[in-house]
Amino acid sequence: MVAIEMLVLPSVRWGNLAALTIFSMEAGLVFLTTLYLQNVLHFGPLAAGLVFGVPGLASVAAGVVAGRIIARRGAHTVLLVALLVQGGLTAPMILLGTQPVWLWLLIPALFAGFFGHITAVVAATVTATSEVPDSHKGLATGLVTTSQRAAVTVGIPLLGAVMTIPADLLAGIHLALAADVLLTLTAVVLIRAGLRRRVPAELFSSDPPR
């Protein structure tokens, strides 16, 4: 069981909320984008995969530089900005239409959004674990991993359910993308407020939970 004192730390609590938001919304976004490419633009699996390939390079780049950015700017600041990038760059995709010409908007938005996503993942992990005593690091890391796995199973059904509200598929994708943006930006506001709190160190036990 998770020790209560672990959840007392705002960094643990809000770092895990960030992980839930990051992974659930990005998993849902990839699902919606795949539907758009295959069912609206009628791309085959190979062509759809190639569309994801270019933005995927941003994920690689983010994985390389995220640590340096965090070291320079701080995990909390980077987390909030990266989440804003992930959510904010989803917003233009609400304009996507039925013609392949809209790839000029989709690919750059995915590229920047993927960079923000991976950077946010690293920053959330650092946020949720860096202020925890060494004796609790394993538990803190396990909590983040659990949050990530749970989020992936939640994001697709959640945004998929929103997508089914309109009868038209493209309108449903637009609505689900808007929900993605709204939920992400709401999480940014909550996380920013939550991370401002500080808990006295003496409230946290030096002994690992049993």
Q: Is the distance from CB of 133 to CB of 100 less than 8 angstroms?
A: no
Residue 177 confidence (pLDDT) above 70: yes
Q: Which of 111, 75, 80 is nearest to 93 (CA)?
A: 111
C-alpha–C-alpha distance, residues 20 and 25, integer Å:
8
- In one letter, which amino acid is 23? F
Residue 202 confidence (pLDDT) above 60: no
Output the six-digit token pair for 164.
Answer: 């089914």
Tokens 């750059």 found at:
108
Residue 62 confidence (pLDDT) above 50: yes
Q: Give the chain's mean pLDDT.
A: 89
C-alpha–C-alpha distance, residues 72 and 143, integer Å:
26
* Full-model pTM: 0.88
93-140 pLDDT, tens per residue? 999 999 999 999 999 999 999 999 999 999 999 999 887 777 777 888
Pinpoint the alpha helices (H) of 36-136. 45-73, 75-88, 103-130
Domains of the chain: 9-195 (1.20.1250.20)
Under the banding of pLDDT at 50, 70 and 90, the label for residue 208 is very low
Q: Which of 180, 149, 148 is nearest to 163 (CA)?
A: 180
